[in-house]
Chain A
Amino acid sequence: MAILAMALPEFLRGSEELSVTGPKVIKTFHIFGLDINFTETVVLEWIVMAVIIGLCIFLTRGLKVKAVSKRQVIAEMAVEAITNLVRDTMGKRWLAFTPYIATVFLFSIFGSLISLFGVRAVTSDFSVLLTWALMTFILITATKIKYGGVGGYLKGFADPIPVMLPINILSEVATPTAMALRHFGNIAGGSIIMGLIYFGLTSLSHMLHMQIPFLTIGIPAVLSLYFDLFSDFMQAFIFIMLTMVFVSNAGPAEDEAAA
């Protein structure tokens, strides 16, 4: 969590209170009678985006066909890795999805890892994950309509028998909901656990009559490896894998499409 950027006074004080809240609302716009909140999350998203775009521009500066720089090698490897992943998971005809998959993957990873700098993770805001999951849902639906037509899409709900209609609708809604909740739950849950650990270790230090909470040194870092680094990477990977599998399954099988 706040390992890297934890200011010294903050560290000396330790974690003395624990609150589980959503993001701060910076400003609220009233448009067409709706309350449009501009929250902390959006600002953090901008920071993440700036970092990713800056990285891309840095890596792709001065690309050459021959005698490539290390930066270019990294950029090429990244592009080829994600392209191969999409090809292997979705199939050759879905390669156009590569940039979108890369976008979600990078946004998720960097959005989660930003919590290492002592701020809220972008991905610990459920609305963000819901947005991404809804995008996946839209892509699934669009693919179904593209290959089956509107009639085929609607008929799919009564498959294999009309009685299944409610269950099919439920499963359709469950897909994005589950994806959003899984990702959100893991990241937000990890943050809460890390917060609890800081809080608990501070309390323990005070109980042992330490003025400075020495127990918060080291122990959280090890746990953070799992709850922040590993979990962040896993969730980003799971999210894009599910997106790819669901979208490509919404279309016909590879050989059918080729026929």
Chain B
Amino acid sequence: MKLGFLSIDIGTILFSWINLMILFFALKHFLFKPVQKILSERQAAVDQTLKDAEDARARAEAAETEYTEKLTKAKEESAEMLRNAARKAQQRSEEIVAGAKAEAAGILQQNRDELEREKRRAESQLRSDVSGLAVMVAEKVVGREINQADHARLIDEFIDSVGDVQ
């Protein structure tokens, strides 16, 4: 049995409607849901990548700033160290020079003192030798012994009047 060419059939309408709904849900489930899911996942991945890149850029900038700061600080430190070292070296050299000078001065002084002492000793030696000699000469000349003590005083007066040996 065949229906008419332009028939309106309740059964066909009913079945067609059910089929339409089945196909609708099938398409939704088998085509749109998975594809839209993957599209949104891809969108999310792209967004994530962009965000990561932005973060990385920010981090790189922060690191650059940090390194620049550190570098500046290190340069300052090294300059400071250099200055310190130079100052210390200067100080040390001055100390050394001063020490050497003091030592040299000490030695000089010591030598001078020594010399002075020698001179004194020689002087007094000379004085006693001369006074002894004078007494001996006077004894010989006068023919008698004069008081040794008087003589010594006379000789000293003579020497003082003659002047300092220096």
Contacts and interface: CB of A to CB of B under 8 A. Distances in A.
Given A56-B26, A65-B42, A37 B3 contact: yes
Contact of A36 (B11, B24, B28, B35): B11
A100 interface: yes
A interface: dominant SS: helix
Contacts of B28: 99
A125 B12 contact: yes
B10 interface: yes
Interface string A33-62: 011111101100110010011001101100
A103 B23 contact: yes
Contacts of B34: 60, 63
Contact of A99 (B8, B9, B13, B27): B27
B2 A60 contact: no
B128 to A, nearest CB: 122
Given A21-B2, A22-B5, A126-B6, A135 B11 contact: no
Contact of B31 (A28, A41, A102, A127): A102
Contact of A128 (B16, B30, B39, B41): B16
Contacts of A53: 23, 26-27, 30
Interface in B33-48: 34-39, 41-42, 45
B3 A131 contact: no
B163 interface: no
A103 B24 contact: yes
Most chain A CB neighbours (cut-off 10 Å) among B8, B10, B20: B20
A98 interface: yes
Nearest to B1: A25
Contacts of A184: 6
B8 A127 contact: yes
B19 interface: yes
Given A102-B32, A132-B16, A132-B20, 6 more contacts: A20-B5, A21-B4, A38-B11, A65-B42, A66-B42, A103-B20
Interface of B: 1-17, 19-20, 22-24, 26-28, 30-32, 34-39, 41-42, 45
14 contacts: A24-B1, A24-B3, A25-B1, A37-B3, A42-B11, A53-B27, A56-B31, A60-B30, A65-B38, A79-B31, A80-B39, A103-B24, A106-B23, A130-B8
